Amino acid sequence: MGDCLTLRNVSAGYGETVVLDGVSLALAQGGTLSILGRNGVGKTTLLASVLGHTTLHAGEIVFAGQPIAGMRPFRRARLGIGYVPQEREIFPSLDVEENLTVAARPVRGGWTLERVYALFPRLAERRGSMGNQISGGEQQMLAVGRALMLNPSLLLLDEPLEGLAPVMVDRLLDALLRLRAEGGLAIVLVEQHARLALEFSARTVVLDRGKVVYDDTSRALLDDPRLLAGLIGVGR
């Protein structure tokens, strides 16, 4: 099985400002990867660089064997890169079902409304509610469901558990674990809840000041809290 996503010595940022400094990583097709680090170390910028929303100063980004560095963001989405932003960014003036179908990319045997509703039964119950009439947890489910309707082979999740009530965290995690168990979908999870992220992904990358300071098994960090605290606290 080949790599779904590869970054080679990527330096990127916003305009002349460099946030990522020589980042390299690889994610296999159907694999999972958690990205950890303190606020402001480049986690969201890494996702934005894969999506094409930053200035690439150096390096190479390859998705499904194809270099995408010069490709516009909408073309990357059409290739199969799904994204769940930290701010959710659902359409408040559309109902739940309209939010799910507005950017759907039908694929034979892929994600449909019925399949998303099976993953998130709560969305089926609220299918006629407007985007601004549902709770934060329901909005997060909707953001994930909308990304799945694109039928991606790579799903980028930017802090999907942030600000959610514990019961919603459990429901969303259960859905993500089901996605992982089904296989075929590569998932990159950026998350502040370190232990949850480590338990989700077999492999973890830790960033500090735009550089990779750890790229190895999640189990090693779970088994060594002092190592984890030292990595997350680098520079303090």
Q: Please identify, in words, the CATH class of the domain defined by 1-80+154-163+188-236.
A: alpha beta
Q: Which pTM does this prediction carry? A: 0.94
Model confidence at 236: pLDDT above 80: no
Model confidence at 115: pLDDT above 90: yes
d(CA 51, CA 70): 11
More confident residue, 103 or 12: 12
The pLDDT assigned to 103 comes to 83
Distant-in-sequence, close-in-space partners of 128: CB < 8 Å, separation ≥ 6:
95, 96, 97
Q: 6-15, 26-35, 208-217, 224-233 — which is least confidently predicted?
A: 224-233
d(CA 191, CA 221): 15
**Band of residue 139 on the pLDDT scale cut at 50, 70, 90:** very high
Tokens of 55: 């200035």
Model confidence at 235: pLDDT above 80: no
Single-letter amino acid, residue 128: G
State mean pLDDT over 131-154: 95
Collapsing DSSP states into helix, strand and coil, what is residue 177?
A: helix
Contact (CB, 8 A) for 80 and 152:
yes
List Cα–Cα distances, 58 to 19, 22, 196, in angstroms. 12, 8, 33
**Band of residue 70 on the pLDDT scale cut at 50, 70, 90:** confident
The pLDDT assigned to 219 comes to 96
